[in-house]
Amino acid sequence: MAFELLVLAVPALPLLAVILNGLFGNRYSHRVAYWLGCGSVGVSFLFALGIFAEMLATGATREVVAYPWIFGGTLTVNLGFLIDPLTCVMLLVVTGVGFLIHVYSIGYMHGEEGFTRFFTYMNLFMVSMLLLVMGNNYLVLFIGWEGVGLCSYLLIGYYYDRVSAAKAATKAFVVNRIGDAGFLLGIFLVFVNFQTLDYTTVFARAGQLSTGMATTIALCLLVGAIGKSAQIPLYTWLPDAMEGPTPVSALIHAATMVTAGVYMVVRNHVLYDMAPLALSTVAWIGGGTALFAASIGLVQNDIKRVLAYSTVSQLGYMFLACGVGAYAAAIFHLMTHAFFKALLFLSAGSVIHALAGEQDIRHMGGLRAKLPLTHLSFLTGTLAIAGIFPLAGFWSKDEIMAHAFVHGHYALYGLAALGAFLTAFYMFRLTYLTFYGESRVEPHAAGHLHESPWIMMGPLIALATLSVIGGFPGVPPEAGWFHRFLNPVVGTTGPAEAHEGSTGLLPTLMGIATAIALSGWALAHYLYKIRPAAAHELADRTPRMYRTLLNKYYVDEFYDAGVVEPLKRLGAVWDWFDQRVIDGVVRAVGRLTETSAAFSTLFETYIIYGSINIIGYSNHLAARVLRRLQTGMVHHYAAIIVAGLFLLVHLLWVWWTGSSSVGLAAR
Amino acid sequence: MVPLAAYVVVSAVLFATGLIGVLIRRNFIIVLMAIGIMLNAANINLVAFSHYLDSMAGQVVALFVIAIAAGEAAVGLAIIIVVFRAKIATNVDEINALRW
């Protein structure tokens, strides 16, 4: 029972904070708001630790049902939570990194308008993300899936008075909708085939599926994952999402939400394992994205955009890992990536904070002396993401590449290796341009330069530590503690299998990976430290390539011209159709009614009212005559009474005697 | 022994006198007195027939008529006084508001 409460409390606490901050946030100070916001996530993290400890102790997968949500016909859906090792890892990452970023936000968002709103959205995001990773069926997953999409929209558009932010928010939402359509189709197919949406039942019965159906479902789900995790071809929203405040970029668009697609693929690996075609699609999309996004990242000048493309690229690695069957490695990279990418974003946020909102690296440089701690943490993140031994990124990325190589996916390995080289290069380029060389800081910002407050540096230090040591649970590759822990969920690739080829191959691959990372570093060192002019020369010598990269392969323009504009024109056509044809019919019907109403009015006025009035007029005329009888003179009344009396007596006489009184008088 | 017809004739003459008084006189008081004459004409009739038929019922009814005549005179006089005070009218044909 206590365990159930623990599980329920994890999403319930941030939800409580959302309700309080959302409804009453304007009645109390910012201090209360952030205590509620951070506190709830912090306690959730502690509870997640408790769940983790319980999982370590018992190792049992458990399902906790909050309440039956929908039941009717063959459909039964519970608001239920599945607690297994995969969920545990995701819980720890989401609440842990989430908590650090919440704390960081206190400092970063200090004094911003809508401070309470920010924390409300952030907590709502935490609730949705927790539902996403904890749900025990597709529908709860879908609620979380849409919830994080909504929060992403709200937070990208946090500065809603900025047109670019509003546009970026809309773009993110719409692009995600495209993915969600596929995702929903996948869920429908699952229900049609299994008559249930519960993971356990679906995965237990997955064997009944034909390969074709499994492939269809897997591909539909993949469309959703592509949208959410910003893979080719739906990645374009993520770089634009950097319009949001930096903690948002760190939490939602780097560490947690965008990994939802990876989580979903790993969660459904039973289905993917049955569909080799879908699996290789995942792998190729991942590998392609890893290289593609990395190449764009080479030349971008906005510090957050470089990191955004790097995120897209790293997510590509995770997809690649899923595609080659290295699910544990994918989750491992997801975790380490969450650490170092959050670290990089938060450090970048610290830089931006110090420079009063400057994000262009051409206006940075030489910040190492002014921001020593930020520099250190950023450098740690860079080393980690570039894959320098023995930081977190090295272990996870190397494992993915090694797995691809060992299992014979040499082309994918090539993509990943080239991507890794580019990653190392653009990350060190970013570091050099930001922290080394001459200061190109604008004068007005230079005076403002300061190291960020401790409330921001604390999370940086924690994340830097995690980025350094975060890889060790996964050592040795494919057989580490992390893999043993995840084995009950993703245990298709046994450690023994990996060991077969590991005699001399794995160390060699590690050496190659290190060499790749170091050469990327060296190139960046040469171009941006030793000969700063060389980079410009290179750009000048290959102007077309440089411009293509700078303009992100013109993909956005292509989408605009190929999809958005035609859709707008189609919209205009339908608008015309609506206004002319549909509204025309409506107006014609209206006019018909009006005309017939006019006829009815005429008929009523002259025929019906006329006949009624005739009665009235005749009464009136009769009254005019008859009222003469009423003189008001008592004498007249008395005379009439007497006349009546005589008449009555006469009639009575006739009645009784049978002869006329006139006759009597005559007699 | 005075015959019954004599009473009936007196009664008829009295009633006709009262009726004509009610119809042609304009003074309130006289109209009221004429009504009284008519009532008493009816009383004479009642008493005469009571004696003639040797039944007390007619005399009892006559007593009732006298009592009611007293009430009628009281109410009538009260109305006359009120009308006199309000409109300063003493003639019946001066109050003719009771019409359309």
Residue with tokens 């991507």: A419
Of B19, B24, B98, the CB nearest to A632: B98
Q: Identify how many contiguous H helices and E strands chain A contains and give both numbers.
A: 31, 2
Pair B19, B31: CB distance under 8 Å: no
Per-residue confidence (pLDDT) for residue A494, from 0 to 100: 45
Q: How many CB pairs under 8 A join A and B?
A: 27
A641, closest residue in chain B (CA to CA):
B23
* Token digits of residue B2: 């005075």
Contact assessment for residue A283 and residue A319, using Cβ atoms and an 8 Å cutoff: yes
Which of A633, A640, A642, A645 to mutate: most B Cβ within 10 Å? A633
B89 in contact with A, Cβ within 8 Å: no
Of B23, B97, B100, the CB nearest to A638: B23
User: How many angstroms away from the CA of A629 is the closest CA of chain B?
Assistant: 9
- The reported pLDDT for the residue numbered A573 is 94
Tell me if B93 and A642 make a contact (CB, 8 A cut-off). Answer: no
Q: Does B95 touch chain A (CB under 8 A)?
A: yes
Residue A331 above 80 pLDDT? Answer: yes
Determine the 3-state secondary structure of A77 from DSSP: strand
- Check B96 against A633: CB less than 8 A apart: yes
**Percent of chain A, pLDDT > 90?**
47
Q: Map tokens 């997801």 to a residue.
A: A334
Pairing of the two strands A75-83 and A62-72: antiparallel
Q: How far is B55 from chain A, CA to nearest CA, in Å?
A: 24
Instruction: Name the residue in chain B with its Cα closest to that of A625.
Output: B100
Tell me what pLDDT residue A427 has.
Answer: 92
Q: Do A638 and B99 touch (CB under 8 A)?
A: no
Average pLDDT, stretch A380-392?
89
* SS3 label, residue A492: coil
Of A448 and A101, the structure prediction assigns the larger pLDDT to A101
Q: Which residue of A has its CA nearest to B96?
A: A632
Predicted local confidence at residue A144, as pLDDT: 93
Q: Is A638 touching B (CB cutoff 8 A)?
A: yes
List CB contacts (< 8 A) between B99 and chain A: 627, 630-632
Question: How large is the angle between the packed helices A454-469 and A372-386, nearest 10 degrees?
Answer: 30
Residues 12-31, chain B: which have Cβ within 8 Å of A?
Answer: 19, 22-24
Q: Which of B19, B96, B97 comes nearest A642 by C-beta?
A: B19
A642: closest chain B residue by CA = B19
Query: Alpha-carbon torsion A599, A601, A602, A603, what sign?
Result: positive
First-to-last CA distance in chain A? 124
Question: CA-to-CA distance for A83 and A64, rounded, in angstroms?
Answer: 8
Query: Are B23 and A634 an interchain contact pair (Cβ–Cβ within 8 Å)?
Result: no
| pLDDT of A663 over the 60 cut | no
A626–B contact, CB cutoff 8 A:
no
Closest chain B residue to A627, measured at CA: B100
Residue A498 is predicted with a pLDDT of 47
Residue A41 clears pLDDT 60, i.e. is over it = yes
**Position of tokens 């999309």?**
A285
Helix, coil or strand: residue A362: helix
A627 neighbourhood in chain B, CB within 8 Å: 99-100
A634 in reach of chain B (CB within 8 A): yes
**Model pLDDT, residue A665:** 52
Please indicate if any CB of chain B lies within 8 Å of the CB of A639.
Answer: yes
Quick check: A440 and A363 in contact, CB under 8 A?
yes
Contacts of B22 in chain A (CB under 8 A): 638
Q: CB atoms < 10 A from the CB of A15, how many?
A: 17
Closest by Cβ to A632, choosing from B19, B22, B96: B96
d(CA A258, CA A624): 93
User: Nearest-CA distance from B31 to chain A in Å?
Assistant: 10
- Which chain A residue lies closest to B35 (C-alpha atoms)? A638
Interface test with A, best of B15, B20, B23, B32 (most A CBs within 10 A): B23
Tell me the ipTM for this assembly: 0.80
Three-state secondary-structure class, residue A249: helix
Q: Give the residue from chain B lying closest to A635, CA to CA.
A: B23
Task: Give the span between the Cα atoms of B73 and B33, in whole angstroms.
Answer: 8
Which residue of chain A is at minimal alpha-carbon distance from B25? Answer: A635
pLDDT tops 80 at residue A660 = no
Cβ distance of B96 and A630 shorter than 8 Å: no
| Tokens matching residue B70 | 């007293």
Sequence-distant (6+) residues with CB within 8 A of A621 are none
pLDDT at B26: 84
Is the bond leading into A476 cis (omega within 30 degrees of zero)? yes
Cβ atoms of A271 and A218 closer than 8 Å:
yes
Q: Does A551 touch chain B (CB under 8 A)?
A: no
- Mean pLDDT value across chain A: 88
Nearest CB partner across the interface for A631, out of B19, B24, B99? B99
- Nearest C-alpha of chain A: how many angstroms from B19? 8
* pLDDT at residue A128, as a whole number: 94
Which of A288, A547, A544, A602 has the alpha carbon at shortest distance from A414?
A288
- Structure confidence by residue, pLDDT tens digits, A492-526: 544 444 444 455 777 888 888 889 889 999 988 88
Q: Please name the residue of chain A whose CA is at the shortest distance from the CA of residue B16.
A: A642
Residue A124 has pLDDT above 50, yes or no: yes
pLDDT tens readout for residues A400-437: 888 888 888 889 999 999 999 999 999 999 999 888 88
Which H, E and C letters describe A401-467, residue by residue? HHHHHHCCCHHHHHHHHHHHHHHHHHHHHHHHHHHCCCCCCCHHHHCCCCCCCHHHHHHHHHHHHHH
Beta partners for B91? B27
Is pLDDT above 70 for A543?
A: yes
In this prediction, residue A667 has a pLDDT band, given cuts at 50, 70 and 90, of very low
pLDDT single digits (tens) A170-206: 999 999 999 999 999 999 999 999 888 899 889 888 8
Q: Is the pLDDT of residue A19 over 60?
A: yes
pLDDT given at position A154: 93
d(CA A134, CA A387): 30
Q: Do the chains contact at A630 and B95, CB–CB below 8 Å?
A: no
Q: Distance (Å) from the C-alpha of residue A638 to the closest C-alpha of chain B? A: 7
Kindly report, residue by residue over B37-68, the tens digit of the pLDDT: 999 999 999 999 999 998 889 899 999 999 99
Q: Is B17 left (phi over 0), alpha (psi -120 to 50) or beta?
A: alpha
pLDDT at residue A662 is higher than 70: no
pLDDT for the residue A661: 52
Q: Give the pLDDT score at B100.
A: 55
- What DSSP string runs through A107-163? HHTTT-TTHHHHHHHHHHHHHHHHHHHHBSBHHHHHHHHHHHHHHHHHHHTTSTTSH
Task: For residue B100, list chain A residues with Cβ-Cβ distance below 8 A.
Answer: 627, 630
- Is B83 in the A-facing interface, judged by CB distances under 8 Å? no
From the list B23, B92, B100, the residue facing A642 with the nearest CB is: B23
